[in-house]
Chains A and B, each alone.
Chain A
Amino acid sequence: MTKIIVITSGKGGVGKTTTSASFAVGLAGRGFKTAVIDFDIGLRNLDLIMGCERRVVYDFVNVIRKEASLNQALIRDKHIKDLFILPASQTRDKDALTLEGVAAVLEELSKTFDYIVCDSPAGIERGAQLAMYFADSAIVVTNPEVSSVRDSDRMLGLLSSKTKRAEEGQPPLTEHLLLTRYSPKRVARGDMLSLADVNEILAIPLLGVIPESQAVLRASNSGDPVILDKESDAGQAYLDAVGRFLGEEIPHRFIEEKGNWLKRIFNLKERETV
């Protein structure tokens, strides 16, 4: 059975596309045939993060309008043979997507793919609702700040009412929280909400915590999703999250301040000198 995953958030710029790219790579790396679709029509981004922007000929809208076949539009990933990217159109706007069109594309992909990852645009409008409509699982990407948490909460409300599963009274989709751009240091300083704060408000299972990391910007610039950077904290955090998504029990990392023991020693010394 093909599984459709939507990566969504409500708020913009929280790391949906970064997550979509890394998740797609992670799932394909585990041997699942995976497609990742850019639903952000007009602001295409996924192809850049995946490093395939120079190979885009046809896009999602072309396929919906039957101007190209799905096979013509799908781009094979440069690293992993079981991974394909369906890019967004740069020139069209969000109204180019139709429910029937999206349904037809997902149905055709479902014949051959194990996982379909849908990178949602920001907002709660049509584009975001189309991206979530057919989903079996939702990964709600949230930054540890009040407005992002509020938007994620709003999104969870829509996921429970505005999806095919909800409308047809089928079992609800599975919800996962992915807390990204987390900085334990800033949490300690009180600049950011803590993991506990966010958990208390959203109250859905935690898939992982992705630390704020320089590696993400480096990865975006080079067009290699950060999950491929196995040395980096963010890369490891995404690998863990994919494992947990597949049902593995992996303890959470990157939620404590780094070098805490060092700090404790310094604190001790300071106290001694006082």
Chain B
Amino acid sequence: MTVSSLAVEQKPCFQFKANFLPCTVLQILYYNDAILEQQLSSTLSNSPSFFTDLPVIIDLDKMKSQDAFDFAKLKEILLANKMILVGVRGGNEAQHLSAVQAGLPLLPASKLSVTEVKPTKKEEPVVRLTKLVTTPIRSGMQVYAKDSDLIVTAAVSQGAELLADGNIHVYGPLRGRVLAGVQGNLQARIYCSVLDAELVSIAGYYLTKEDMLKSPLSEGMKQIFLDNEQVRIEVL
């Protein structure tokens, strides 16, 4: 059996996925195992479940002392308090050596979070404003909701165009062109009741009016979304 035929036959056994695992950074200010153990248990008694199964990064950046210390003992204390240890960051070479000896991985000392696969600024929830249009959107007019959703409560004429980085909701008759997720958001959706659009598009995948006329839909609120690179319309 050749290598290439092997590649054809075998299904991939893994894939990479970016993820935003919540993670707590434990900054060690100075090291004393007795004090650490005592303070941890008093913190724990205030909120017993807080640390349970919480991924923790041990951060040495705030530590004054340059000396290596007993990472094996530190590990033992944290594990006893039900924390999951992700690794160690910051510190100097001597400290790194003892961390590795205790079986703790080293993380880059930079500002990277544990989700190094894809560094991103958006760790905190971002509340985006929705663009709201209450007057008719006539032929020749274009409305673009940048970085947000778009809600239109009036009619959208033939020859008008709606664009949004997020979702689009139209409560009047929809006769123009509607493009949601124009920056490539595959999760973007379009909602409308009277669908007579010239074109609907999600993240660049689209249906023309001709496509839509091939399979007429019953009345009612409609949801337009992407399913396997295929734009689908569903009556809710």
Contacts and interface: CB of A to CB of B under 8 A. Distances in A.
A103 interface: no
A203 interface: yes
B139 A203 contact: no
B162 to A, nearest CB: 13
Interface residues of B, number: 14
Contacts of A158: 140
A77 interface: no
A156 B138 contact: yes
A203 B138 contact: no
Interface in B110-153: 135-141
Interface of A: 124, 150-151, 153-154, 156-158, 160-161, 200-201, 203
Q: Determine which residue in B135, B138, B155 has the highest number of CB atoms from chain A within 10 A of its CB, and name it.
A: B138
Contacts of A124: 140
Interface in B179-232: none
Interface of B: 135-141, 155, 157-160, 173, 175
A14 to B, nearest CB: 16
Contacts of B137: 157
A203 B140 contact: no
Chain A interface, >50% SS class: helix
B155 A150 contact: no
A157 B158 contact: no
B135 A160 contact: yes
A221 B140 CA distance: 37
Nearest to A150: B139
A150 B136 contact: no
A163 to B, nearest CB: 14
Nearest to B154: A203
Contacts of B140: 124, 154, 157-158
6 contacts: A124-B140, A150-B139, A151-B139, A153-B159, A154-B138, A161-B141
Given A160-B135, A160-B138, A203-B136, A154 B155 contact: no
A153 B137 CA distance: 9
A164 to B, nearest CB: 18
Q: Determine which residue in B135, B157, B158, B175 has the highest number of CB atoms from chain A within 10 A of its CB, and name it.
A: B157
B155 A157 contact: no
B160 to A, nearest CB: 8
Contacts of A156: 136, 138
